[in-house]
Amino acid sequence: MRILLIEDDVAIAKAVAEALGDKGYTVEMAHDGQTGLAFAETGLFDLIVLDLTLPKLNGILLCQKLRQQNLSVPVLMLTARDTTADKIVGLDAGADDYIIKPFEISELLARVRALLRRRSLSFAETLTWEKLLLRVDSCETFYDGIILRLTPKEYALLELFLKNGSRILTRQYILERVWTFDDLPGEDTVKAHLRSLRQKLKLAGAPPNLIETVYGLGYRLNPNLQSAV
């Protein structure tokens, strides 16, 4: 899952990004409100971690602008202001939760999990295709009951395919949703990760064309296999 972290304190941003990355999340960072808003408006993120006090555009105004555009992405607000009035202002602006600085990373991770779990209710709690199953809440994947040991990028790829069904995904589309904007690799990287993912699926008993290459267009989950189940 993709998380947008908007925080102007570089030390805090780095620590939070590393902690989220260690849990398998893809993290994009912005250090001012205007840049953060531009990223958020792309609609590519599953969650936004947003500092209240930012240069150029503060967190309250940023959150209000998102909600005015009907962007429903969950927002976890970071604030050093531990007063009821400030919390109410943040929630009224459209934030879904808040955490007070200084905070324990473990608490932030727990709040992130809770917000993503709540958001996942708009999707199925489990995503399935053929004998493939992905549990959204626990980030576990299985093929015919056999657990798949996937890297974070392989998991992100598989989740992306399952959420899109038989829709064809181009390499560029995959890159923009699995990698960060400032660290986009070449399209050959997509091929390499797909090769590894397919090999792990094959070892678990999946047909080699479960993830189908549509030549000249991209990749998708094979609709013929789904219809046969």
Name residue 91's amino acid.
Answer: L
pTM: 0.61
Ordered by where they begin, the domains of the chain are: 2-120 (3.40.50.2300), 126-228 (1.10.10.10)
What CA dihedral angle connects 86, 27, 17 and 59, to 10 degrees?
Answer: -20
Percentage of residues in the chain with pLDDT exceeding 90? 41
Q: At 79, is the pLDDT very low, low, confident or very high (cuts 50, 70, 90)? A: confident
How, if at all, do strands 132-135 and 126-129 pair? Answer: antiparallel
- 229 pLDDT band, cuts 50/70/90, is very low
Q: Which residues contact 210 (CB under 8 A, 6 or more apart)?
A: 129, 130, 132, 198, 201, 221, 222, 225
Which residues pair with residue 109 across a beta bridge? none
Residue type at 12 in one-letter notation: I
Is residue 176 within 8 Å of 186, Cβ to Cβ?
A: no
| Numbers of helices and strands, H then E, in the chain | 9, 11
* Structure-token pair, residue 100: 């007070």
The pLDDT value given to residue 197: 95
Report which secondary-structure segment, H or E, holds 208. Answer: none
**If pLDDT is split at 50, 70 and 90, which confidence band does 121 have?**
low
Question: 183: which DSSP letter?
Answer: G
Q: Please give the DSSP secondary-structure letter assigned to residue 169.
A: B
The percent of residues above 70 in pLDDT, for the chain, comes to 90
Mean pLDDT of the region 15-26: 90
Say what the pLDDT of residue 200 is: 95
Q: Compute how many other C-beta atoms are within 10 angstroms of the C-beta atom of residue 172.
A: 12
Q: Name the average pLDDT for the chain.
A: 86
Q: What is the mean pLDDT of residues 142-147?
A: 92
Asked if residue 170 has pLDDT above 50, the reply is yes
